[in-house]
């Protein structure tokens, strides 16, 4: 199998949303998806806040990764952060996830990034085992925190 890739364009907005919904469904959080085609179009393509790459089999999209840059200050250069990586269930176990990670690693190296990072749900044993098989190691010395929704709005409003 030779995996090919292509970078998403604005014409792929509906397809990107389909992949996001499929991932959310797999993670049992479909009810949390508030993304719309208009939002994706604005922030992915007009403001270029993130990028998407597709893995292809015979020209058809079988997986995707959505990523953006972070800036690890201690490294003094950008890192590449994978927000979402998803392979359609019927194509799992055929090397597409590995190929996507390899493609993102190649992108990170070519663009001078110092590291490649992502997170994974603690219950997702198949993915955790897959990531470990690729040489990834969990960061046990930190916990991710999140502020969103009304809490985010309220926190922002407190600065006067």
**Residues 40-66 pLDDT 10s:** 999 999 999 999 999 999 999 999 999
Q: How does residue 146 score in pLDDT terms, banded at 50, 70 and 90?
A: confident
pTM (two decimals) = 0.91
Which residues are designated catalytic?
131
Burial 45-78 (b: 16+ CB within 10 A, else e): beeeebbbbbbbbeeebbbbbbbbeeeeeeeeeb
Residue 144 pLDDT:
83
Query: How far is it, in rounded angstroms, from Cα 149 to Cα 130?
Result: 32
* Segment (H or E) for 125: helix 125-133
């Amino acid at each position: 199998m030779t995996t090919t890739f292509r970078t998403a364009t604005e014409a792929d907005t509906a397809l990107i949303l389909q992949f996001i919904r499929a991932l959310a469904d797999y993670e049992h959080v479909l009810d949390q998806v508030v993304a719309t085609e208009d939002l994706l179009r604005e922030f992915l393509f007009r403001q270029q806040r993130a990028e998407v790459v597709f893995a292809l089999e015979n020209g058809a999209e079988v997986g995707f990764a959505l990523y953006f840059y972070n800036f690890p200050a201690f490294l003094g250069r950008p890192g590449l952060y994978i927000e979402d990586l998803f392979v359609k269930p019927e194509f799992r176990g055929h090397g597409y996830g590995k190929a996507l990670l390899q493609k993102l690693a190649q992108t990170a190296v070519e663009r001078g990034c110092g590291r490649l990072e992502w997170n994974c749900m603690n219950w997702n044993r198949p993915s955790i085992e897959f990531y470990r098989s690729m040489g990834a190691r969990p960061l046990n010395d930190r916990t991710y925190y999140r502020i969103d929704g009304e809490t985010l709005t309220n926190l922002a409003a407190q600065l006067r």
